[in-house]
Amino acid sequence: MWKKRTYTDQELVQGCAKNDRKHQEVLYRKYFDSMMHMCLRYTEDRDIAMQIVNNGFLRAFKNIAQFSFKGSLEGWLRKIVYHSLSDYYKKHSKYIQFLVFEEKEEVIPETALSNMYAEDILNLVQELPPATKMVFQLYAIEGYSHKEIAAQLNISVGTSKWHLSTARKTLKQLINKSISNRHHAG
């Protein structure tokens, strides 16, 4: 009976560094589920998540020779896929900083806000309550209208607008706190 070959992470990295398709496929299959799961925390759209994961793996394959086994291969891949996620939202969203501060008053100085990375803001979005986070992601990141969100989540348009307003207020507070902590730490 034929036994399927298993590879160590070191063998996978070495094979991928040589651009060996079999090693790339094995690496992809080994870590695909965990990378997809991570991306699905930020978007409900499986096609977008798949696009982000695939872009992340392409980057990983291009740079895998730089992996030095200081830490886990999965952690290194996760970081690369997360950067792909961030790049996707920088390119395709209405831009996250604008989304948070769409209202007239500007509470946070532009220079302080520009020191925050999109990843930092995405991490703060994860701190929102689940329903508020969902509405914010659907509206601000994925571009759905309040009417579409209301239909998808089985809530009223007014409730969708309330969650978005709450998300913005909470994110402003979290960003102010983060900026304040950076100033006190620096």
More confident residue, 36 or 109: 36
Question: Which token pair is 185?
Answer: 């730490």
Q: Say yes or no to pLDDT of 114 above 60.
A: no
Rounded percentage of the chain residues whose pLDDT exceeds 70: 78
- Structural domain of 13: 9-92
Return left, alpha or beta for 69; rule: phi > 0 is left, psi -120 to 50 is alpha, else beta: left
Q: Say yes or no to pLDDT of 28 above 60.
A: yes
Q: Which of 92, 112, 134 is the last residue of a domain?
A: 92
For residue 26, give Cα distances in angstroms to 4, 6, 31, 40: 11, 9, 9, 22
- For residues 17 and 48, membership in a common domain is answered with yes
Q: Which of 60, 92, 124 is the last residue of a domain?
A: 92
Rounded percentage of the chain residues whose pLDDT exceeds 90: 37
Q: Say yes or no to pLDDT of 105 above 70.
A: no
Mean pLDDT across 30-58? 90
Instruction: Give the CATH number, domain containing residue 73.
Output: 1.10.1740.10
The pLDDT value recorded for residue 11 is: 93
For residue 147, give Cα distances in angstroms to 19, 117, 136, 165, 167: 47, 30, 14, 15, 18
Q: What is the residue whose two structure tokens read 């030095």?
A: 68
